[in-house]
Amino acid sequence: MTILDSGLIVVDTSALMAILLEQAEGAACSKRLLTEDFVAISSGTLAELLVVAGRHGIREEAMALVRGLGIEVVPGLADDAERIGDAYQAWGKGLTRQA
């Protein structure tokens, strides 16, 4: 997480994955995110989160966490990040089917 200003945090993939995977630092990340006025994630980082979470089989849980925490996706659209994640899930590194 990056704290840009009082009450403003830009969250990264590692912080959200720590929460999702119930890692030791995940509890502290979750507590901090819940106490801030504004939490943001870039659309590119959201796409990365969806790729990483997909490799762990928890892609839907990752999106639910972002939505549940009310994390603002900037710039771009959350739909764009979801489409990037979908594309990677279907055709990304090591995921394509052999002909």
User: Each residue of 45-83: pLDDT tens digit?
Assistant: 998 899 899 999 999 999 999 999 999 988 766 777 778
Q: Please name which of 23, 14, 18, 21 lies closest in space to residue 41, comparing C-alpha atoms.
A: 14
Which residue is listed with tokens 């403003």?
8
Tell me the average pLDDT across 37-48.
89
Q: Please name which of 39, 44, 38 lies closest in space to residue 11, comparing C-alpha atoms.
A: 39
Query: Looking at residue 14, what is its pLDDT?
Result: 95
* pLDDT (tens digit per residue) in 86-95: 887 887 766 5
The whole-model pTM stands at 0.74
pLDDT > 90: percent of the chain: 49
Judge whether residue 84 has pLDDT over 90: no
Structure-token pair, residue 41:
């994630």
Side-chain half-sphere exposure of 55, counting CA atoms within 13 A: 12
**Given this structure, which CATH class describes domain 2-91?**
alpha beta
Burial of 19 (0-12, 13-18, 19+ CB in 10 A): buried
Judge whether residue 99 has pLDDT over 80: no
List C-alpha distances in Å: 55 to 9, 10, 14, 40, 92: 26, 23, 14, 23, 10
